[in-house]
């Protein structure tokens, strides 16, 4: 996600990127220029390493004018407040399309909706503010992880086409462009997804035959998506609880 954000922001903002492994990046906070004061500090790291990152950066930028934005899934404000006592904190959940300016980012902050955050994320696509942290875990399950669900659908369609006798490359081309076309149609019409689905579905036609299975209330698409998003949501919840617990244990040992 970090590289997607950088790609989306580079044409619009001056960025200082820190990554110990990626080429042409600063490797350590010690390499920052003297007196360096960024408008925002964006933590585009995986939750699994955030407890090792925060002690390096929080002493440098913990003032009311230092805006922190975290995209680490599931890591709550309470975790960050163990390192940051004064700085405003934003939790953000973007998705991969931010690199093309077509993403959507769920946001919540310790100080309500912040104009600077809106400005930063405007070139990346749409934004949605939520009122409770728990809702951001739902955003993570829906739109944060959501692109992977659509990619999996494209893979499944291509494999199904191959089983039906098409060459795999032909089936993949058809599946990819079908997904792209569906997205473009959604983007360029005010009609609901339900209305569009009905337009494609002739009574007793081929699409209706497929949707009869997908709409099965026991084993169809909706029950599967509900289970999948709930699994992602529960994982986001556990990540937050685990990192609060781990940090608490570290403090007790120290």
pLDDT digit string (tens) for 131-188? 999 999 999 999 999 999 999 999 999 999 999 999 999 999 999 999 999 999 999 9
DSSP string, 106-140: EEEETTSS-HHHHHHHGGGEEEEE-SSHHHHHHHI
Instruction: Let me know whether 167 and 210 are in one domain.
Output: yes
CA dist., res. 134 & res. 237, Å (int): 8
Instruction: Let me know whether 159 and 106 are in one domain.
Output: no
Contact of 94 with 124, CB cutoff 8 Å: yes
pLDDT of 230 above 90:
yes
CA dist., res. 51 & res. 251, Å (int): 12
DSSP 8-state class, residue 142: I
Q: What is the pLDDT of residue 18?
A: 87
What domain count does the chain have? 2
| Domain region containing 61 | 2-140
| CATH number, position 153 | 1.10.3730.10
**How many other C-beta atoms lie within 10 A of the C-beta of residue 95?**
24
Instruction: Output the average pLDDT for the chain.
Output: 90
Instruction: Let me know whether 93 and 155 are in one domain.
Output: no
C-alpha triplet 75, 69, 226: angle, nearest 5°? 45
CA dist., res. 183 & res. 119, Å (int): 25
Q: What is the pLDDT of residue 23?
A: 79
| CATH number, position 68 | 3.40.50.720
Q: What is the pLDDT of residue 246?
A: 62
CA 89 to chain centre: 17
pLDDT of 11 above 60:
yes
Rounded to an integer, the average pLDDT of 3-17 is 92
Tell me if 254 is assigned to some domain: no
Tell me if 243 is assigned to some domain: no
Instruction: Let me know whether 175 and 198 are in one domain.
Output: yes
Tell me if 215 is assigned to some domain: yes
Domain boundary (79, 105, 140) is at 140
Rounded to an integer, the average pLDDT of 41-51 is 87
Q: How far is CA 70 from CA 31, 110, 197, in A?
A: 22, 12, 37
pLDDT of 243 above 80:
no
Contact of 208 with 202, CB cutoff 8 Å: yes
Tell me if 253 is assigned to some domain: no
């Amino acid at each position: 996600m970090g590289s997607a954000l950088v790609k989306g922001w580079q044409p619009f903002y001056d960025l200082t990127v820190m990554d110990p492994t990626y080429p042409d990046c600063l490797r350590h906070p010690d390499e920052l220029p003297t007196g360096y004061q960024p408008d925002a500090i964006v933590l585009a790291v995986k939750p699994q390493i955030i407890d090792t990152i925060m002690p390096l950066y929080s002493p440098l930028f913990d003032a009311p004018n230092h805006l922190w934005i975290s995209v680490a899934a599931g890591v709550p404000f309470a975790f960050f407040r163990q390192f940051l006592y004064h700085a405003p904190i934003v939790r953000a959940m973007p998705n991969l399309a931010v690199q093309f300016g077509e993403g959507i980012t769920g946001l919540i902050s310790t100080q309500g909706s912040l104009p600077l955050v809106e400005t930063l994320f405007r070139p990346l696509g749409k934004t949605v503010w939520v009122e409770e942290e728990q809702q951001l875990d739902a955003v993570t399950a829906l739109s944060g992880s959501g692109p992977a669900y659509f990619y999996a659908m494209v893979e499944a369609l291509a494999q199904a086409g191959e089983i039906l006798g098409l060459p795999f490359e032909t089936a993949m081309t058809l599946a990819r462009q079908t997904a792209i076309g569906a997205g473009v149609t959604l983007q360029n019409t005010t009609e609901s997804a339900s209305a569009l689905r009905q337009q494609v579905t002739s009574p007793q036609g081929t699409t209706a035959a497929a949707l009869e299975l997908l709409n099965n209330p026991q084993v169809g698409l909706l029950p599967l998506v509900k289970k999948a998003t709930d699994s992602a949501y529960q994982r986001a919840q556990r990540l937050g609880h685990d990192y609060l617990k781990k940090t608490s244990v570290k403090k007790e040992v120290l």
